Amino acid sequence: MEYPKTIESAHQGLIRKEFSAKELTEFYLQKIKKENKEINDFLEITDKLALVQAQAIDDKIGRGEKVEGLEGIPIAIKDNILVEDYTVTAGSKILEKYKAPYDATVIKKLKAAGAIIIGKTNLDEFAMGSSTENSAFGVVKNPLDKTRVPGGSSGGSAAAVAANHCLGALGSDTGGSVRQPASFCGVVGFKPSYGMVSRYGLIAMASSLDQIGTFGKTVEDAKLIFDAIKGRDGRDSTTIQDTRYKKQETGHKNLRIGVPKEYFAEGINPEVKEKIEKAIRSFEAIGAEIKEISLPYTDYALAVYYIIMPAEVSANLARYDSIKYGLRKEGKNLLDQYLETRAEGLGDEPTRRIMLGTYVLSAGYRDAYYKKAQKVRALIKKEFEEAFEEIDVIMTPTAPTPAFKIGEKKDPLSMYLSDIYTTPASIAGLPAISVPAGEVGNLPIGLQIIGQQFYDDFVFDVAQIFWQLSK
C-alpha cells in the first residue's frame, strides 16, 4: 500500500475502508524496522501495544461506529515521555533498563483519543542538545541528508515524521527542542504556551521551561495532536484548561506582524535571512501590516537560558543516584556508589550542565548569576507583553542556518548558538511554531511564529494562513 501523507488522508482512508488500522500500523512498523538501522530515529518499537490498539479501532469500525480524527493514527513518542511498561531511557545509559510504571498524562490522552503508540524515539541525553548527537544510543541522521543532523533534542521525533515512519509525533521543547529539529527536517513543530500541556510523566530537565510539543507533516496535523493532549491536569499545577484566544477576537485581514530586527542581525545565514523575509512579506497578500520592532533584551536570552536551565537540571538530575532509578554501581560506601554510578551513567553534556548549574546555585554565586538571570527573564517576558500591545504575532527565523553536518560543531558554545532564536519564547512561556518556509542549498528552513501566552490557537490560525500562502 502507499502510505498516506497526512493524518487527514489516513483518517479518510480508514473511513472509506481503503485499509484497516492494523494494515496501516503494520505498514509503518515494517518501514521502521527496515530503515531504523540507518536513521536511528527509534530506540524502541512498541509493536505489541500498537497492534492491540489498532485491532480495537478495527473492531470499532467493524461495528459501524464513528471514527474520530486521531483514531487509528500511528504516533511516535520521544523517549523522555513515560509509556507504561515500556523502557524510558531519556537517551541515557543511567536509565537504559528503566521501565515506566505509569502513562504520562499526554499518553493517557492519546490513548483515549484512539491514537496508535508506535514507538519511542531517540533524543539527546536527558533532552540536552541541539543535534541528537548526544544520545547514549547513537547519533540520529537527518532523513533528508544522512550526513547531517536532524536537530535536537527531539531529533528522533522530527526525523521519524520526515522519514514517513509515523504520521505525527510528540517531543519536548525546553529551549527550542521541537521547533529547531522541525526546521532542520522540513516538518511542522509546535511548542505550546507553558501550562497548556501537562508535564506529568515527562522526565524533567528544566521544570520552569519544559513543555511537551507536537510534530506533524502539516499545521493541521500538529494541531490535531495538540488538541488531544492539551488542558488542565490535577497532577500538574501549572496547567490551565484551554487557550484564551477566541476566533472572533481578531480578524486575520487586520493581522499585525512584528519582525524583531535583533533576529536578523549578524550571524544568520544570508540566504536564510532572505527566504524568511520573503516568507513574511507573503502575508501582504492578505492585507497584513508588517512592522519592524525591537526586542533588545533578546540579546541576553541565550545567556539567561544557559543559567536558569542548568540550575534546574542540577536539581532535577540529583534523583539519579543509583538508589531508585536505573543504573546501580556498587561502591565501598554510599558516596562512592553515587559517584561511580553517575560517572558511568551520565554523558558529557548532562555532566557539563550539572556542573554549571551547581556552580550558579552555590553560595556566593547564586545572587550574582541565578537571581540576576531570573530578573532579566522577567524583563524579557515584560518586553514581549509590551510588544503584543501593538502587534498580534512575531515572526522570525526558527534557526540561523539549515541543518549542519554531523560532527561539525565540536565546541559546546557554537552548538548552544543554534537555539538563539528559539530560547526567548521559551523563557517567556509563549506559544511558538516552526513551519517549513523553503530551502537553502536543498535543505529545509523554518519560519517561527510566536504568539501571546495562551493564544496557542491563534498561532495555529496564522500558521495555517502561511501554509496556504506558501502552497
d(CA 355, CA 128): 14
Q: Among 92, 130, 131, 153, which one carries the catalytic annotation?
A: 153
Q: 501495544: which residue's cell?
A: 49
Catalytic annotation on 434? no
Catalytic annotation on 109? no
Residues 6+ apart with CB under 8 A from 471: none
Q: Measuring CA to CA, how many Å separate 238 from each of 205, 227, 322?
A: 16, 18, 30
d(CA 350, CA 80): 14
Cβ-based neighbour number of residue 254 at 10 Å = 11
d(CA 26, CA 19): 11
Catalytic annotation on 78? yes
- Cis ω for the linkage preceding 207 (within 30 of 0): no
Closest CA to 338 of 359, 364, 313, 317: 317
Alpha helices in 362-429 (DSSP H): 372-387, 412-416, 423-428
Q: Are 185 and 177 in contact (CB under 8 A)?
A: no
Q: Among 22, 78, 120, 409, which one carries the catalytic annotation?
A: 78
Q: Are 54 and 24 in contact (CB under 8 A)?
A: yes
Q: Measuring CA to CA, how many Å separate 168 from each of 298, 340, 374?
A: 31, 39, 35
Q: Measuring CA to CA, how many Å separate 21 from each of 41, 52, 56, 66?
A: 23, 10, 9, 14
Cβ-based neighbour number of residue 237 at 10 Å = 8
Catalytic residues: 78, 153, 177
